[in-house]
Amino acid sequence: MHQHLDGLPTGPDGPGPDGPPADPLVTGIHDRWDGQGLPGQPWPFMAICSIGRLYQLIRKALDDELEKSGLSRTGFFLLTTLALTSTGRARLSTLGRFLMLHPTSVKLTVDQLEADGLVSRSRHPRDRRATLVLVTPSGRDLAGRVNLALESPDGPLGEFAGLYRPLFESLQPMRLAAGDLEV
Pair 99, 142: CB distance under 8 Å: no
User: 42-183 — its CATH code?
Assistant: 1.10.10.10
pLDDT of residue 160: 86
Q: Tell me the one-letter amino acid at 4.
A: H
| Domain boundaries defined on the chain | 1-40, 42-183
**What are the backbone angles phi and psi of residue 32, rounded to the nearest 5°?**
-105, -20
Confidence of residue 20 (pLDDT cuts 50, 70, 90): confident
pLDDT of residue 18: 66
The partner residues of 119 in beta bridges, in order of sequence, read: 135
Pair 109, 72: CB distance under 8 Å: yes
Distance CA 28, CA 85 (A): 45
pLDDT of residue 56: 94
Confidence of residue 17 (pLDDT cuts 50, 70, 90): low
Distance CA 31, CA 2 (A): 9
The partner residues of 131 in beta bridges, in order of sequence, read: 123
